Chains A and B, each alone.
Chain A
Amino acid sequence: MVPVKYFAKTVAIRLLTLIIAIYITVVIANLGGFIDRIYIGQIRFNVESEIARNPSFANLPENLREKYINERVQAIIRSRGLDKPFIFRSFIYFRDALTLNLGRALILRSASGSSLVKDIILERLPQTVLLFTTGTIISALLGIYLSLYMAKSAGGTFDKSVTFFAITTSIVPPWFFGIIFILIFSFYLGLFPSGGMFSVPPPSTLLGYFRDILYHMALPLLAWVFNGLGAWAYVSRNILIQVSQEDYVVVARAKGLPERLVLSRYVLRPSLPPIVTNVALAIVNSLTGAIITETVFDWPGVGRLLYEAILSLDAPVVIGITVIYAYLYTLTVLALDLIYGLLDPRIRSSR
């Protein structure tokens, strides 16, 4: 039996949350219309300097020239819809964002010269997936693997020391490790490059090309895994220990089931849903990259793009990235909600 009512309610609530979040993001990313005012100022500046450079306007009287400038500026403002009040425009931006009609960037361009926000983001996405999604998956796998040993000897020296290490490294952000790793591994030991993605010029063979990327990836990847590993180990350990203290696990042991079977069937299986949730959300999170880590390592990914967009006040790009993230996040959470609702009747009733 599929609980239709529960599903409908979950979907409705999540979508409503998404819609409101996107509207708030649109308003904040435009700083409540402040970005448009800066933009209008830029239009005016551009028109004025264009006319100042043009010799055919040199003989025009001051007031006529002023009038011409005003007309030009007003025409451009009208053509871009900037003459309407922000509250009105915010709903146009909102509609575009909601329908993922991301439009054109104000300033940024993709390497191929396109000004479409979609092109600009898609161009950066592979680099971010390559580094951060890979890093997230590696640290999740290693961390969960580590957590099995921690949970096995809970309270022991190994568990205690890894827990301390885990809490500490998960608090210290990856860019911070990055700075220290650059100093040690790049400057002093000379093992890895300090940043960037390719050597200049890039190697000509395909194999050499991949090796070059790996060589550049090593340090940021290490920093990312170093930060994530501990958190994965610690959180998964807590889940595992909690489950292994359930009565049915005690019963399974009392029945004399072999430890391997108890672990795989009675402990691991019920621990999977929260761990899978964490992994799914972390992978979604990794898609937007990491602003500061990418900046420190000069990695040309989505995080760096977001930062460039902020520095050039390119609101469409900022909105584009954040809206895509909000969509992915909501859809993932929704999918997990529905799957667990289907699998576990207890969740349905607690809503």
Chain B
Amino acid sequence: MSAPLGLREIVKEVLKSKSGLAGLCILLFLTILSLLVPIYFPKGNIVNAWNDPLHWVKYPRLAAPEWVEIFIGKRLPRTLDIVNSDFKYLSIKMSSGFKYVRREANFYYDYDDFPSDFIIFLNTSYRSSPPYVAVTIIRPDGLKVKLFSGTLTSSTQALYISTDKDILSNIADFVTKVTGKPPSALSFIYIFAERESLPNVKEVKVLKSSYFKPPRPYRIVVKALMYSKKDKLRIEAIIYGKVYGLAGTDNERRDILLGILWGTPISLAFGIVGSVVTTVIQAFLGAVSAWYGGKVDEVLQRATDIMLVIPILPLIILIDFVYRLTLWRLLEVLVVFSILGMVTKITRSMVLQVKSEQYIEAAISYGASKKRILALYITPRITPYTFANIVLSIPSFVFLEAALSILGLGDPLLPTLGKLLDNAYEGGALYHGYWWWVLLPAGVIMLIAIAFVLMYYPLDKILNPRLRER
């Protein structure tokens, strides 16, 4: 048997070993990252923002992390947000109650790939009827692409350049006019394509501002005819990129890094609380069972056998499915189902061995109470095992949360690591190759698992001293 070790000695032992230290460093790293959330995302309630589609309108959809450029060797487009104040007034004409406005914004486009999407938001306030608007893009090579002209139909209208049929056919007309041939397929990327590379959508090359000396911008020209002097038009154009931030975005344009930063501590807390509570209860009942013996032992052991026969996972899934548990309610259910288990059996057999040792006999003979012996003389002997088991089963709880999320039974609101993985799975990331969406949350889960295995590794040697090198 190993010499009795207190919690402090065990922690010291873990820290003394290289692997234990490495594991702790990983955990510290993850914790510090999570603490940085308020700096990364200073505004308000993260959970609400996460679940609110409006919050993510200005983010690109399914963008890869920015650092992929290092591997691809290309400069991939960032998202360009051209706000209302960027649209300079070129002319304002008033005549007999009409207001005619011409506005223009410039942007330089120097990326090696086309944008992923292009939306122009037009917000108007008008008195009698909505304005008539025409939007044209003048490219660096001087060619004009007419995108839209017509009367706005609502006070907040968005021109979805990449999907709107009329706009796409306007762009196709532009290609036909320039090349004399119709384009091979409808697409908005012709706006950004070199003239010589038209009209096949598979062969087009990006027309960069820097091809000209000095560089020439793209110009978005908006003409509006308004029917009252006080009518207003606010314009915002967003040219969505193909990369975003450190972790990219998902199919709802959400910043995956925020999900990871917010989800990591939740998953960790779930794992730690679940593991500590269930292991301590099971170990305690195992010790009680062996120490008191007799009827108590018989009842606890039979109950443990029963729990080991019942397949718990399907029943938990059933309960979670019917009652739609939140994460913390799920944790409570898990604890109830794991009051007795393998740890009870193992601690029982350990205490049975300790029970026959002489120092226990000595304690009995000087009249220590049963409770006192259990608390002061027996508990320390099972502490190393209990601690090691806690460390090793934390990842299991993290994975369990992820597993239930993959089945679609995760917490309805909280972005946990498992939930991120489930979103990716449901969003078809595996079948379309959105690798960042899968691998980054999965990587953090793996990192958590590896951290705890590294911390468990030195404990394994304490627990099984006979298994050390001969």
Contacts and interface: CB of A to CB of B under 8 A. Distances in A.
B is bound to A: yes
Interface of A: 13-14, 16-18, 20-21, 24-25, 28-29, 31, 34-35, 38, 154-156, 163-164, 167-168, 171-173, 175-176, 179-180, 182-183, 186-188, 194, 238, 241-242, 245, 288, 291-292, 295-296, 306-307, 310-311, 313, 318, 321-322, 325-326, 329-330
Contacts of A31: 318-319, 322
Nearest to A292: B403
Contacts, number: 138
Given A172-B449, A310-B317, A17 B305 contact: yes
A16 B317 CA distance: 26
B442 interface: yes
Interface string B283-324: 000000000000000000010011101110111011101100
B433 A326 contact: no
B470 A187 contact: no
A179 B425 contact: yes
B433 A330 contact: no
Contacts of B315: 25, 28-29, 322
Contacts of B435: 183
Nearest to B402: A176
Given A183-B438, A292-B407, A17 B306 contact: yes
Interface residues of B, number: 50
Given A24-B310, A329-B309, 5 more contacts: A28-B319, A172-B446, A172-B449, A242-B467, A306-B314
B468 interface: yes
A171 B399 contact: yes
B399 A179 contact: no
A167 B456 contact: yes
Contacts of A168: 449-450, 453
Contact of A179 (B309, B438, B449, B452): B438
B457 A295 contact: no
A157 to B, nearest CB: 11
A180 B310 contact: no
A330 B464 CA distance: 30
Interface in B430-457: 430-433, 435, 438-439, 442, 445-446, 449-450, 452-453, 456-457
B313 A291 contact: yes
In the A-B complex, the 7 residue pairs with the smallest Cβ-Cβ separation, listed nearest first, are A155-B469, A21-B309, A17-B305, A21-B306, A182-B430, A310-B318, A171-B395
Given A175-B406, A194-B430, A241 B466 contact: yes
18 contacts: A16-B302, A21-B306, A21-B307, A31-B319, A168-B450, A175-B403, A176-B399, A179-B438, A183-B435, A186-B431, A187-B430, A194-B430, A241-B467, A291-B314, A292-B406, A295-B407, A310-B321, A311-B321
A26 B451 CA distance: 40
B396 interface: yes
Contacts of A296: 406, 425
